Amino acid sequence: MRGVGGAPHPLRPLSSNPRPRVRFAPSPTGYLHIGGARTALFNWLFARRTGGVFILRIEDTDAERSTQASLQAILDSMHWLGLEWDEGPEVGGPHGPYTQTERKAIYRQYAEKLISSGAAYRCVCTKEQLDQQRKAAEAAKRPFRYPGTCRERKDIPVDVPHVVRFRMPATGETGFDDLVKGRIKVRNEELQDEIILRFDNLPLYNFGAVVDDVSMEITLVARGDDHVINTPRQVLMYQALGYPVPQFAHLPMILGADKTRLSKRHGAVSVLQYRDEGYEPQALLNYLARLGWSSGDQEIFTIAELIEKFDWSGCGHTAGVFNPTKLLWVNAEHMKRLTPAELAARVGARFAARGWNAGSQQRLERIAVVFRERAQTLQELEGAAKFLFERPAALDAAGVTKFLTPAIAPVLEELIAAIATAEPFSEAGLKPVFEAMLAKHNLKMVALAQACRLSITGGTVSPPIYDVMEILGREESLARLRHGAGTARGTA
């Protein structure tokens, strides 16, 4: 073990750990997206369901693209979703560090073990040589394979810059039983000697993942199915290292509406964006769970139900198209199930961010409950309630033409006078006044209600008018109605 300093991390001894251990291992090369969130969710559900351990590991060996901001965005996303990890950044744990760049010495040790057993070897082929060979192969329309230049060399000293390659068996086949896809196997001749450790001691994905999964005693690896093809190579590495092969579960990809892999092109894919747009974390989780997994015909699940019912066998094996419209529906369903106090807390926070003060807790809850009926997200709710805090700058023109006509003006003025003293100032006190007015002038409710709605909210759509007036209060309602009456009369 030369050139890597001390050996603070002895190779993991073989042991049997009864508790399932799973991990989510994102790369901090961007925000946490929908696909990553689902992978994290399934791992987390499995851990919670089985009493296992959920580990968060940061795979930051791609120095070019990894950033601190991305890491923070991932941690923020996980916290917001409520996918708390038992071991990993912030919380630590007995198998740390949980960031790959901090584990360099560990990879070197495992690589040396493979070299001494002959399962891997040092390679001094340069990137330039390889690139050239790859281009030549492409030009000749041959698939590129490492020619094995260093495969049998025994004369490469450790102190010469080199990479480490894994020696793939030339014959036979390697397979595994995937928990969602079933038996998968590949002929070993398809595999080639791949680099497992770079010249700077940082591992490549396949090796880094295996070493970390081994040293963190991971018992089940669940990830996106773009990794299926990597798995046989990894199986070979577990075997070469002498550790048991974990179980695998590969989740189908999430696609965009055009059926290609979901990406920024498809609009909102960042978890934090959904937070900002006023989605409920459990709704996002619920939707994500149902994208690729099902439990009979049930669509709406609480987190507790998800934990109780989650099972790899419930996972489908076809890629799924992300459907924002259905997410919206799921979110609305979850909003409906919130208690008034829960909803009010969320709504209040968003109001406060805009400098809106709803007054008492009771009034805030009333607003939340009344407005949620026609909002699918908190952001929508917020938009619909705006008129409560800011007088409409202008009344909807088409609405004015249709409902705030000169003919309604005297009725409105009469109504204003009548409700100035109506008690209570809510549906109970208001309804009789409105009805009397309708009877007297032989009007339909829609005409009066819309005239009021326009005057008070500035638009033609709002919660029931009595509720709106009650929430807004007598003084402000009357002021706006007077202004509306003026508009109707044509003098405003």
Partner RNA sequence: GUCCCUGUCGUCUAGUCAGGCCUAGGACAUAGCCCUUUCAAGGCUGUAACACGGGUUCGAAUCCCGUCAGGGACGCCA
Strand partners for 122:
164
Residue pointed to by tokens 């995937």: 178
Spatial distance between the Cα atoms of 229 and 216, rounded to a whole number of angstroms: 23
Q: Which two tokens stand for residue 271?
A: 């978890």
Spatial distance between the Cα atoms of 310 and 303, rounded to a whole number of angstroms: 10
Q: How far is the CB of 51 from RNA (least distance, A)?
A: 25
Q: How far is the CB of 374 from RNA (least distance, A)?
A: 4
Q: Which is nearer to RNA, 83 or 384 (CB)?
A: 384
Q: Which is nearer to RNA, 263 or 421 (CB)?
A: 263
- Give me the long-range contacts of 448-454 (CB less than 8 A, separation at least 24): 448/408, 448/411, 448/415, 450/399, 450/402, 450/403, 451/403, 451/404, 451/408, 451/411, 451/412, 451/484, 451/488, 452/412, 452/415, 452/481, 452/484, 454/395, 454/396, 454/399, 454/400, 454/403, 454/404, 454/484
Q: Which is nearer to RNA, 62 or 414 (CB)?
A: 62
Question: Is 264 annotated as catalytic?
Answer: yes
Contacts of 355 by beta carbon, 8 Å cutoff, 6+ apart: none
* Other Cβ atoms closer than 10 A to 86: 16
Q: How far is the CB of 187 from RNA (least distance, A)?
A: 7
Q: Which is nearer to RNA, 144 or 387 (CB)?
A: 144
Q: Which of 127, 264, 336, 431 is catalytic?
A: 264
Q: How far is the CB of 22 from RNA (least distance, A)?
A: 17
Q: How far is the CB of 103 from RNA (least distance, A)?
A: 12
Q: Which is nearer to RNA, 126 or 490 (CB)?
A: 126
Q: Which is nearer to RNA, 155 or 297 (CB)?
A: 297
Spatial distance between the Cα atoms of 114 and 121, rounded to a whole number of angstroms: 8
Q: How far is the CB of 16 from RNA (least distance, A)?
A: 28
Give catalytic residue positions: 264
